[in-house]
Amino acid sequence: MLLLPILLPIFGGVFVFREREEKTRNRLTLGLTVMTAVAAGILCALPEQSLRLMTIEGSLYLALQSDSLGKFFMVLISGIWLPVAVFAEPYLRHGGKGQQFQGFYTMTMGMLMGLALADNFVTLYMFFELMTLLTAPLVLHGGTPAARRAGLKYLGYSVFGAGMALAGYFFLSHFLTDQSFTGGGALNLPLAAAHRPLLLIVFLVMTIGFGAKAGMMPMQAWLPTAHPVAPAPASAVLSGVITKGGVLAIIRVTYYLFGAEFLRGSWAQYALIALALCTVFTGSMLALKEKSLKKRLAYSTVSQVSYVLFGLLLLSPGGVRGALLQMTFHALAKDTLFLAAGAIIVATNFTHVDQLAGIGKRMPRTMVCFSGAALSIIGIPPMSGFISKWYLASAALNFEVRALGYLGVAMLILSALMTAGYLLPIVVRGFFPGRDVLVERREVGPRMTAPMLVMSIAVLVLGLFPNGLQAWISTLLPQIF
Amino acid sequence: MQWLQALPILISVVLGIGLTILQPGERKVRNAYIMGSVMLTAGLSFAAIIAAGMADTAPACTLVRFSSEFSISLRIDGCSMVYGAIVSALWPLITLYSLDYMSHEGHESRFFGFWIASFGVVLGIAFAEDFLTLYLFYELLTLVTLPLVMHFMDEKARYAGRKYVVYSLAGAAFAFIGIVFLLRYGTTLDFTYGGVLDLAKAAGNETTLWAVFVLTFFGFGVKAAIFPFGAWLPDASVAPTPVSALLHAVAVVKAGAFAVLRLIYFGFGTDFLRGSWAQYAVMTAAILTIIYGAARALRTPHLKRRLAFSTVSNLSYILFSLTLMTPAGLVGALAHMVYHAVVKITMFCCAGSIIQKSGREYIYEFEGLGRRMPVVFGTFTVSAFALIGVPPLGGFVGKWMICTAAVLSEDPWAYFGIGALILSTLLTTLYMMTIFVRAWFPVGTVDHEALSKIHDPGPAMTIPLMVLAAAGIVLALFSAPLIEFLQAVSLNTL
Amino acid sequence: MRPFYENLPFLSMFAAIFCGVLSSVIRDGRRAYVLALAMAAVTAAMSAVLLYYVCTRDVSFVYSMGRFAAPYGNAIKAGPLQALLATVFSIVMGLSLLGGGRGLSHDILPEKQGLYFVMADLMLAGILALIYTNDMFTAYVFIEITTIAACAMVMAKDTGPNLIATIRYLFMSLLGSGLFLIGLALLDSIGGYLLMEPLARAVEILAELGRYHRPLIVSIGLMVVGLGIKSAMFPFHLWLPDAHGGATSSSSAILSGIVLKGYVVLIITLMTRVFGLELMREVGVTHILLIAGMLGMIFGSLAAMREYHVKRMLANSSVAQIGYIFMGLGLGTEFGVAAACFHILVHATCKPLLFLCAGRLSDVSGHHRSLKNLRGSAYRDFGAGVGFTVGALSMIGIPLLGGFVSKLYLSEAALESPYVAAVLLTIAVSTVLNALYYVPATLAIWVRPPWEEIREVMHDVKPEDTRFDRSFFTASALFICLVFLLGIAYHPVMNVIYAGIRLM
């Protein structure tokens, strides 16, 4: 059962590759995505399971388990993957070469499921690498020299980051009592205490390594390069889900291997918090300056995902709660934004922010979705983004080191202002161009607007009624600490 | 019984010479002769390995006895089994591949004569019982593979061949010094787990012996293409592809690594070397080579040269692991030896097929080839993933064992090695991805007319490819018994 | 009654001289050739018998010639080492003549051929005498005889450059003999004897008392340098490439294989029998030999690397190989001397093989000598190609061949000495250098050039040159066997050498 959500899209993806007929392929892709989502759902409903796939030597084995964090993540993946898959079909008809895109797209879902279900570091690393390798073709899809450069850059950063994490794990594994992920950490504390400096360096290295995927400084540079050249659905999942893969890996390392207790109050934690805050600020700054829409959104991702990391690194239940909420809401909102950007490209071929004056009149549905998502990203109530930011800020205020906590809050506010500064003008100028622009309505078809609508409604609804999600996270938290 | 160890070596050498003398004209007869000889040798070699594995203490087989201390003698121990088995398993497959590949190159009798003979010589290196025997076969290997490298006999081939021989012989000349010292300060020249040094005699001369060790390491390291003596390897890629595949990815270069293995673990002994400046010197060289090879590979547009530089880098994984001088290091080295052999040979065979079928040698000419040669590029891609070290494929297991050993050695210097390995992973990803990404995801306009003439080669070439790729995957997936075996070898508890 | 075998050294020398005289009467080239071959065979056989006897009985003996009683008369001394060297040298001599037979008749004017063999016979007699001699005067006499004979053999091929080379050779040789003579006179005046045993005792006493210390050193120095010049010790080797490179194959083979070694053997005899190794070490002669040897190893090879003319390359390589021998002697230990003796044997078999094969290869390539024109020649005479390859590999030091063993023994001997690092490094570097020119040369003869080039070269080839040369083939096969024999069954040989040095 554990294997089902992983293997189903992988083997299904092979058939997607081989299917030349477009309609059948679309149906196959959607069917597979739905089936995987259903399988993941069933798995979430079932009690926790675990499975050992193979053992090679000592700590070198592959194993899967479905713990609550994994389940949470699987739901998130399914929730994003489905609408984007629907959106991708008409978008690809516009760009061509759908066979290849949909094949890799389907297979990547399996890898993400595997990432969520991994029970130990080796398995996690395996799915992480495979995810990187399978998403590279999505970036490469455009078939231009720029796309190739971006793809290689993406690969290089991700592989090197994962490699850093792996290098750290070689050291870490000798201090673990249990190689599989254990809530609260698996460190052999007496032994670890003796080697605390070494382990803290290892923690720093591993977090920075996985942080590359999550767009954390200093290895964030791939994001703004890869997003503009990738097709919109690819950018959407890259930003919305793949970066969260890095976040998941960091959660696994921080809370399930090291344990919050061991790390709390260490210089490594402070250094990483500082890095995350720095990224939050820099990302927003760069987004403010950037004129290309997708690039601006990419910088926004850099900034927003680092909110998540900031929350995680506070090492308090409140911080984790804020982080998980932010992760979910950002995924939904940012995907909506990217899909909207894709729709704009399909309809008008506009990629530049300056070209977008009056776009709200041309494509009202798209831009309504866009506005909703933008408000959420900025963190304006009643959109969901507000809730996550609220929790993050309150967790930051409770942080032991006051100065760092207040600095964090200040950064959040500053960044929110800047976010407003780079997202709102698009909306405002889109709907109120000021002078009369010659406008003809050129909305994209319902198969593209529907996913956007669904997701932006989700953003709103979750903002209005966050209790269900809250409750779920509340049951989850004790297992993490 | 103990003569079984000598049989594959002698028979293949005799059969190889026989082929150059007989020069059968009929292609069918010749192919049958070649396949027969190789299969016979491989069979005998496996028989010898299995027999040695069954026996409690494998007896030595002395071919020539010069004097009480010198003899040419063979004995199969754990390391011999690993190396011998790699070679014996790969040789028939690549022979099958090259029968087809070489059918248009001319001078096949000469080529395959030396081909068969070098099989025996490599087995000689694997099965050698003492340093003198190792040295003999080591030198012979240089000579017997030379005609293979120079097969095309044009200006480039001659240059490459000359470079190869001079480098190898020069390396052996320095290795010779080490052997003389082992003779003087050791108790015996026979390989002894833990070293042969007589510590009473060595006391007071440690510095000299360490210096000699470093010299000898580099001497043998020449064949394993250690920086700065690896320049011959990329040049040698002018050889016909089966030669590059088998000799320059497996047999010859691994012979260098194998000799270093013998030198460290069975010659000077790890206890004597560990912690000395000599260890750090050789380890540094290995670490530098890892990065140097990978970086050069990234900057080389010629496919086979790129693969050769990649081999340089990967061989130094093995050397680095050996220089950890712990049993775990030995496991890592042997494991990577196995996996790298399978993976790299597959890649070279793919490269050969590409060159033969499309005539394209530079990677920027590969735009869009993937669709036309799906089998070749498919196996290439899988192997590339293995080389990058995507779990659970082979390269990852090797890397894992090496890094674990490096951590376990608790030597801060070795931690740099881990860093180098990770950096090399990055570089490997880049230099491999740029090859098949071009093939699968072409950029710009593709000349469909030119591409339409290109297609996968025939089954004689694709079957070995697929078998190799499958073997690589299977070997990696079920590597638990292999690793267990290697651990037994490394502790000498076989 | 002295046992018969004790007459053998004298008989062999006598036979050689007698054949020389006989040849000068015959004057017919063909017959003189056969006679010289027969003479070499006979001396080889006699020496072999002698070797058998002295080895089985483990003795050495003095045999005085003429009616003068010791300590004044002429005497010879034979032990296992001498017998071994004599055997090998005779065999090498015979095989060299056999192998270069066709070249001889091509290179030398018919009317001079008789004379050539006279010289060859006398030269062998001289070498045998140098090996066996037990008194300094006999040594000097035969040094001169050998020199003149050798010069004549170089000059036999009657070309301009050869004449210059010969004159240079003669000049240097005479300088060497002169120095030797001065040293000898000096030694005689302070020691009072010419026979080696009494002289050795006298030298020992002088050294012990510390009297005449400086004249003693000077005389040792002069004698060693004098012999060194004649055996092409670095830096007195400049005459050698011209002399050996230009001569006909047989001459080159004999000169580099035997003649150079004759003087070295005399140095060994002086070192071990007269002065004693201890004294040599004390006065520092060994250091000079060591340094000269090592420099020779390097610079000889460097010079050889620059040569494109195959025989000059081989000649330069001889300088390097002689360097090995001097280095062995320079170690100043019995092991070193033994290793040097072994290397004498190895080089005496390898180098003639190389010269003969090179000669044969150039014969089948229209008598071109440059490596460029020899490309692919191995396919025209397979035996010569194989022979050249075996010789080259042995020089590089591949196991199972002689060169490897001598390198092994030299290195082992070096381990005892304080200069171990320098010596071993020099050996390694020299091996690399050897590889740097032997490998390209070997490759050159085996690699087929483009067809046009072959045609151009073949244009000069006469059909009779490419005919199968049975005598060459036999000689080269036997030489190859010898090289392998020295590489595999070297242990008994080394035992003989050790016994010989013990019984010096």
Quote ipTM for the complex. Answer: 0.86
Q: Please determine, for residue A157, whether its predicted confidence score (pLDDT) is greater than 60.
A: yes
Which of B407, B425, B433 faces A170 most closely, judged by CB atoms? B407
Give the closest-approach CA distance of B162 to chain A in angstroms.
38
Q: β-strand A60-65 against B61-65: which pairing, if any?
A: unpaired
- Residues spanned by the domain of A384: 329-481
Question: If interface means Cβ-Cβ distance under 8 Å, which residues of chain C face chain B?
Answer: 393, 396-400, 407-408, 411-412, 415, 420-421, 424-425, 427-429, 431-432, 435-436, 439-440, 443, 447-448, 488-491
- Which DSSP state fits B239? S
Contacts of B404 in chain A (CB under 8 A): 58-60, 170, 173
Give the closest-approach CA distance of A137 to chain B in angstroms.
8
Average pLDDT for B119-142: 89
Q: How far apart are the first and last CA of chain A?
A: 27
Count of CB contacts below 8 A, A vs B?
97
* Range from A179-188, A250-259, C81-90, C429-438 carrying the lowest mean pLDDT: A179-188
The string of pLDDT tens digits covering residues A350-390 is: 888 888 877 888 888 888 889 989 989 888 877 888 888 98
Taking an 8 Å cut-off on Cβ atoms, the answer to whether C428 and B173 are in contact is yes
- Cβ burial B385-422 (10 Å sphere, 16+ → b, else e): bbbbbbbbbbbbbbbbbbbbbbbbbebeebbbbbbbbb
Taking the CA atoms of residue B320, residue B323, residue B328 and residue B333 in that order, the dihedral angle to the nearest 10 degrees is 50
Tell me whether B17 touches chain C (CB under 8 Å).
no
Angle at C168 between CA C167 and CA C169, to 5 degrees: 90
Nearest CA in chain B to A166: B422
> DSSP readout, B409-468?
TT-HHHHHHHHHHHHHHHHHHHHHHHHHHHHHS--S---HHHHHT-----HHHHHHHHHH
Nearest CA in chain B to C398: B139
- Which DSSP state fits B58? P
Q: How far apart are the first and last CA of chain B?
A: 19
Query: How many CB atoms are closer than 10 A to CB A442?
Result: 12
Tell me whether B434 touches chain A (CB under 8 Å).
yes
Coil, helix or strand at residue A60:
strand
Contacts of B67 in chain C (CB under 8 A): 491
Those residues whose C-beta lies under 8 Å from the C-beta of residue A213, and which sit 6 or more positions away, are A128, A132, A157, A158, A161, A162, A242, A243, A245, A246, A249
Q: Are C328 and C412 in contact (CB under 8 A)?
A: no
Contacts of B426 in chain A (CB under 8 A): 156, 159-160, 163
The Cα B290–Cα B296 span in angstroms is: 10
> DSSP readout, B97-143?
HHHHHGGGTS-HHHHHHHHHHHHHHHHHHHHB-BHHHHHHHHHHHHH
pLDDT number for residue C87: 92
Query: How many CB atoms are closer than 10 A to CB A425?
Result: 14
Give the closest-approach CA distance of C399 to chain B in angstroms.
5
Q: Are B198 and B187 in contact (CB under 8 A)?
A: yes
Taking an 8 Å cut-off on Cβ atoms, the answer to whether A156 and B401 are in contact is no
Q: Please determine, for residue A269, whether its predicted confidence score (pLDDT) is greater than 80.
A: yes
pLDDT number for residue B494: 66
Q: Please determine, for residue A129, whether its predicted confidence score (pLDDT) is greater than 60.
A: yes
pLDDT number for residue C342: 93
Angle at C258 between CA C254 and CA C260, to 5 degrees: 110
Taking an 8 Å cut-off on Cβ atoms, the answer to whether C443 and B158 are in contact is yes
The Cα A323–Cα A320 span in angstroms is: 5
pLDDT number for residue B472: 85
Give the closest-approach CA distance of A299 to chain B in angstroms.
24
Domain count, chain B: 1
Query: How many CB atoms are closer than 10 A to CB C382?
Result: 11
The Cα B78–Cα B66 span in angstroms is: 26
- Which DSSP state fits A62? E
The Cα C305–Cα C299 span in angstroms is: 10
Tell me whether A153 touches chain B (CB under 8 Å).
no
Q: How far apart are the first and last CA of chain C?
A: 23
Show the tokens assigned to C368.
């071109």
Those residues whose C-beta lies under 8 Å from the C-beta of residue B253, and which sit 6 or more positions away, are B223, B224, B225, B233, B247, B311, B315
Coil, helix or strand at residue A291:
coil
Closest CA to A190 of A182, A181, A199: A199
Taking an 8 Å cut-off on Cβ atoms, the answer to whether A122 and B403 are in contact is no
Show the tokens assigned to A473.
């996270």
What phi, psi does B128 have (nearest 5°)?
-55, 145
Average pLDDT for A236-259: 89
Mutation test of the interface with chain B: which of A18, A57, A208, choosing the one with the most B Cβ atoms within 10 A? Answer: A57
- Which DSSP state fits A21? -
Closest CA to B131 of C492, C408, C336: C408
Give the closest-approach CA distance of B466 to chain A in angstroms.
18
pLDDT number for residue A223: 86
Taking an 8 Å cut-off on Cβ atoms, the answer to whether A167 and B392 are in contact is no
- B1 part of a folded domain: no
Contacts of B66 in chain C (CB under 8 A): 488-491
Closest CA to C162 of C172, C152, C147, C174: C152
Domain count, chain A: 1
Average pLDDT for A65-77: 88
Residues of chain C with pLDDT under 70: 1, 66-73
* Chains contacting chain C through 3 or more C-beta pairs under 8 A: B
Nearest CA in chain B to C400: B136
Tell me whether A20 touches chain B (CB under 8 Å).
no
Q: Please determine, for residue B145, whether its predicted confidence score (pLDDT) is greater than 60.
A: yes
Give the closest-approach CA distance of B480 to chain A in angstroms.
4
Which of B166, B180, B184 faces C439 most closely, judged by CB atoms? B166
Omega cis (within 30) before C235: yes
Q: Are C171 and C204 in contact (CB under 8 A)?
A: no
Q: Which residue has the tokens 């889900």?
A: A241
Contacts of C411 in chain B (CB under 8 A): 176-177, 180
Q: Are B154 and B177 in contact (CB under 8 A)?
A: no
Closest CA to A335 of A90, A83, A113: A83
Give the closest-approach CA distance of C428 to chain B in angstroms.
5
The Cα C222–Cα C228 span in angstroms is: 9
- A424 part of a folded domain: yes
Mutation test of the interface with chain B: which of C420, C425, C434, C497, choosing the one with the most B Cβ atoms within 10 A? Answer: C420
Tell me whether B186 touches chain C (CB under 8 Å).
no
Query: How many CB atoms are closer than 10 A to CB C214?
Result: 7
At residue A291 the predicted structure's pLDDT band, cuts being 50, 70 and 90, is confident
Average pLDDT for B25-40: 85
Nearest CA in chain B to C421: B208
Give the closest-approach CA distance of B116 to chain C in angstroms.
20
- Which DSSP state fits B57? S
Q: Please determine, for residue B452, whether its predicted confidence score (pLDDT) is greater than 80.
A: no
Taking an 8 Å cut-off on Cβ atoms, the answer to whether B391 and A129 are in contact is yes
Which of C393, C411, C432 faces B180 most closely, judged by CB atoms? C411
Taking an 8 Å cut-off on Cβ atoms, the answer to whether A151 and B437 are in contact is yes
Tell me whether B401 touches chain A (CB under 8 Å).
yes
Those residues whose C-beta lies under 8 Å from the C-beta of residue B186, and which sit 6 or more positions away, are B196, B197, B198, B267
Contacts of B406 in chain A (CB under 8 A): 170
pLDDT number for residue A241: 87
- B271 part of a folded domain: yes
Taking an 8 Å cut-off on Cβ atoms, the answer to whether B437 and A136 are in contact is yes
Mean residue pLDDT across chain A: 86
Taking the CA atoms of residue A32, residue A37, residue A41 and residue A42 in that order, the dihedral angle to the nearest 10 degrees is 10
Output helix, strand, coil percentages for chain B, rounded to the nearest 5.
75, 5, 20
Nearest CA in chain B to C394: B139
Q: Are C319 and C327 in contact (CB under 8 A)?
A: no
Omega cis (within 30) before C71: yes
Helix (H), strand (E) at residue B279: helix B277-298
Taking the CA atoms of residue A349, residue A350, residue A352 and residue A358 in that order, the dihedral angle to the nearest 10 degrees is 180
**Rounded alpha-carbon distances, angstroms, from residue C115 to A327, C109, C149, C152, C336:** 106, 10, 10, 9, 40
pLDDT number for residue A438: 62
Coil, helix or strand at residue C63:
strand
Coil, helix or strand at residue C177:
helix
The Cα C413–Cα C204 span in angstroms is: 26
Tell me whether B437 touches chain A (CB under 8 Å).
yes
Coil, helix or strand at residue C84:
helix
Global confidence as pTM: 0.89
Those residues whose C-beta lies under 8 Å from the C-beta of residue C72, and which sit 6 or more positions away, are C194, C195
Q: Which residue has the tokens 């097709």?
A: A231
Give the closest-approach CA distance of B153 to chain C in angstroms.
7
Taking an 8 Å cut-off on Cβ atoms, the answer to whether B173 and C439 are in contact is no
The Cα C246–Cα C311 span in angstroms is: 7
Touch test C–A: 3 Cβ pairs or more under 8 Å: no
- A208 part of a folded domain: no
Q: Residue type for A480, please?
A: I
Helix (H), strand (E) at residue A271: helix A267-289
- Residues spanned by the domain of B347: 7-490
Contacts of B483 in chain A (CB under 8 A): 56-57
Taking an 8 Å cut-off on Cβ atoms, the answer to whether B433 and A155 are in contact is yes
**Rounded alpha-carbon distances, angstroms, from residue A95 to A52, A136, A349, B225, C461:** 42, 17, 12, 47, 73
Give the closest-approach CA distance of B128 to chain C in angstroms.
14
Reduced 3-state DSSP string for A376-397? HHHCCCCCHHHHHHHHHHHHHH
The string of pLDDT tens digits covering residues B162-214 is: 888 888 888 888 888 888 888 888 888 888 888 888 888 877 788 888 888 99
CA C410 from chain centre, in angstroms, equals 18
Give the closest-approach CA distance of B183 to chain C in angstroms.
8
- A386 part of a folded domain: yes
Contacts of B421 in chain A (CB under 8 A): 167
Q: Which residue has the tokens 């035992």?
A: C495
Show the tokens assigned to A104.
């890799």
Which of B136, B165, B183 faces C439 most closely, judged by CB atoms? B165
